[in-house]
Amino acid sequence: MYRKPEEEKPKTFASNSLTNFRNSNKMLLIPSPPSSSSSSLPAIVQSRRHPLFHLHTSPFRNSLSPRRILHFRPCAVNGTTAVDSFTEKSGYLFDLTAYEAESLAEYSVSKIAAIYRRKPLLVLRRLLQVGSSLGRWFGLRVIDDLRERSDLMFEVRAAELRNILVELGPAYIKIAQAVSSRADLIPPSYLDELSLLQDQIAPFSSKLAFDMIEQELKIPLDELFSEISPEPTAAASLGQVYQARLRRNGQVVAVKVQRPGVQAAIALDILILRYLAAVFRKVAKLNTDLQAVVDEWATSLFKEMDYRREAKNGRKFRQLYGSLQDVLVPQMFMEHTTRRVLTMEWVKGQKLTAVKDLYLVEVGVYCSFNQLLEYGFYHADPHPGNLLRTSDGKLAYLDFGMMGEFKQELRDGFIEACLHLVNRDFDALAKDFVTLGLLPPTADKQAVTQALTAVFQNAVSKGVRSISFGDLLGNLGTTMYKFKFRIPSYFSLVIRSLAVLEGIAVSFNPNYKVLGSTYPWIARKVLTDNSPKLKSSLISLLYKEGVFRIDRLESLITESLRARMEKSSLRQDLEIQSNRVVVKEVLSFALSEKGSFLRDLLLQEIAKGLDALGLATLDSINSVTATRIPFGSSVSVSMMTKEDVNNLRTLGRLILLLSGSQENPSNQMILQGGNKNQFTGLDEASVREVLSVLSVIPELPPESQQQILNLPVEVARRLISRVTARTLRRLWS
C-alpha cells in the first residue's frame, strides 16, 4: 500500500485551484446597512482585474421586489457586455412562461413532452444546432485524416470540441465531465480541454447572479454578507460559485448560484436523447432499456438542479462519512439555501488530479466502499472538480447534487459478484448477474458461465491486485451483446462512480487498480457482516461438497488484514509486517465480536483437525506395535479416511495462518504430505509457531483474552461430539 505523504509546509490553496479569500484585494467589501450597529467597513476595494459592483444601500430599503422569472439576455456590466457563449448560442431555449418553468421543477417526461409539443420550431432549431455543430466538428476531423494532418490539428480540434460543448449547454458538458476523468481512454490534448469543463466554464453576469441571490434569499446582499468576490471563483455547467463572508458571524462561505436557463435547455436535450436512445436500441437490437438509463441520469440531473435537495444530501453525506479518517465534508447553511442558491462552508484546496496524492485516492476508495456497500448512499458525480486535497492533507468532497441509492439486496449481490469473480467461481457469477438485474432469469446460465470463463479467466489469473476495473468492462462488452445483457438504470451511476476514481488514479499511476484496493474492504465485510445472505455466501465460498477450502479463507483473511492496517494509518503492505504484528491482527480480528461467525468456523475446523490428528496418532501406534509383535501382520489397517487426511492438512495450514508464518520448505510436511504417517505429531517448527501465537496473548485486549480462555472448553466440546458421533456410526455399521 501507499504511505501517507509527510506533512509539508502550508502552500497557497484555493477551492478548485482558483483565487484565495481576499487575495490581492479582490474581494468586494460591502458597507453595513445604516440600521446595523456595527461600525462601517472601509470603502469598496477596486479589483486589479475587473471593476467591482458598487452595491449601494438605502435606509428606506425594507423589502425586495417580487420574484420574477429571469429571461436571461445580454446585459451591461459597468459599460461592458458580458454574455457567456452558452447564452449567446442557446439563449433562445430560455423563454418559458411561469407555468412552464414551474413544471420543470421535477423530472417528468410527460410534462417536458407537453411543453415542447407546442414548440415544434424550437425543437427543430435545437436539432439543427446540435447536428450542425457536432457534424461540422466530425467533418473537420475526417478532413484532417484525409490531409494527414490529424496530429498537427489535434489540440485545435480538442479546443473546438470544448467550445462546442459549452455552447450546447449543461447536458453535453455533463457527459464530457464523465469522460474527462478517464486518462487511460482519452488522448492528453482532449483530456486537458475537457477537464476545463469541470469548473472553468465562462461565467454569466455577476450582476444577474447577485440579483438572483437577493430574490431567492429575500434579503439584501449587504445585510447577508460583509464581503463577497466581485467575480465567481469557479463556474461549472449548472452554476457558479462566489466566495463570501457572512456578516453575522464572519464565517467564510461558498455561495453557489444557478445558471439561468439550465432547466429549459436540459429538459429539451434529454427529450432528444430519449428519442435517439429508442432509435439506437431498435437499430442495434439491444436488450437494455436505453431510455430507462437516460431517465435515471436525467432524474439525478434534475435533482442536482434543486439546491435545497443538494444541501440536504450534503448534510446526510457529512453525517455518514464526515467522521472517516482524512475525509472532509463541508457544512451546509440551510437557512441561506433555496432552489437556486446554495450556501456552504468554504473549502480551501487543490484538485486531486493536480496534486497526484495516491494516498488520498485510497482514502476515496475506502469512502466509496462505505458509500456503496455499507450505507448505500453514494456520490454519483465524483469528477476531479468535486474532489480536493485540502491544505491539511484531507480529501474534501464537493457538489452533492447527484447522489444515488444502492438497495441492500443489490449491495449484497455486488459483494457476492466480486467474491466469485476474484475466486473464479464463474458459475456463481452468472447467478449474481441475474440477482443484479444484468441477466434475465431465463438466460442459459451454463452458456453464460462458459462465456464469462473465457472473458475473465486471464483477467483474474494474476490476482485481485492486478484486476483493472476498466479492462473488465471492456472485455465484457462482446458477451453482453451476445447474451442480451440488460443495464439496469441504477448500474450506470454505480459504475461511473467507481470508474471515475480509477481514472483519477490512473492519470498519475498507470498500474493502479481500484478493485484491488476495494477488495480488502469487501473481504473484511464478508467475514464480519451479520447479514444472513452474506453468511450463506461465505459458507458457499469456503465449502465445496463438504470440503473446507482453506486457501480461500487464507486469501480473505490476508486481504481483510490489509484493509485493517490501512485504516489504522500504518499504510504498509502485509508482507513487510513482522509475524508478531500479523498474529496479533489475526487473533484480534477472530476474537472480536464482529469475528464471531469466523471464529465458529475456525473452531469447527480445528476440532476436525485434532480429531484427525488423534486418528493419525493411533495409526502410528498400531503400525509400530504390529512391527514389534512376533509373527504379527506387517500391514496395518488405517483408521483414517480421505476426509480425515484433508482435515489434518487443514489443521496444519490453520496453524500457519494463525501464527503469521509463510509457507517455506520446513512447513511443506504439514501442507503437502501425502503419507498419513507424516502427520503423527508436531515438529519443532510447528511448536515454535504455536508458541509465537501464545506469546502474543498478553498483548491482546482483556475481552479477547477472556475469549481465549473459553476456547479450549469449546474445542473440547466439539471434539467430544465429533468422536462420539464417529464411534456410534462405526458401531452401527
List the catalytic residues.
Answer: 381
Q: Pairing mode, if any, of strands 387-390 and 349-351?
A: antiparallel
Alpha carbon distances (Å) from 392 to 254, 345, 356, 445, 695: 19, 16, 15, 51, 40
- In degrees and rounded to multiples of 5, residue 607 shows phi and psi of -60, -40
Sequence-distant (≥ 6) Cβ neighbours of residue 201 within 8 angstroms: 84, 86, 166, 173, 235, 236, 237
Interior angle at CA 461, CA 547 and CA 363, nearest 5: 100
Contact 126, 112 (CB under 8 A): no
What residue type is 500 in one-letter code?
V
> Closest by alpha carbon to 129, among 101, 174, 164?
164
Torsions phi, psi of 81, nearest 5? -85, 125
Report the alpha-carbon distance of residue 339 to residue 337 in Å, rounded.
7
Q: Distances in Å between the alpha carbon of 274 and those of 261, 278, 291, 297?
A: 20, 6, 5, 11
Give, rounded to a whole angstrom, the gap between the first and last alpha carbons of the chain.
56
Amino acid identity of 595?
G
Name 116's Cβ contacts closer than 8 Å, sequence gap at least 6.
Answer: 122, 123, 267, 268, 271
How far apart CA 323 and CA 398 sit, in angstroms, is 16
Interatomic CA distance for residues 521 and 563, integer angstroms? 6
Query: What is the C-alpha separation between 186 and 627, in angstroms, rounded?
Result: 76
Q: Is 440:486 a contact under the CB 8 Å cutoff?
A: yes
Q: Which residues of 614-638 are buried (b: 16+ CB within 10 A; e: fewer)?
A: bbbeebbeebeeeeeeeeeeeebee
Cα separation, 268 vs 98, in Å, equals 17
Contact 341, 253 (CB under 8 A): no
What are the angstrom distances between the C-alpha of 44 and each of 57, 207, 255? Answer: 13, 16, 20
Q: Where are the beta strands (DSSP E) in 418-505?
A: none
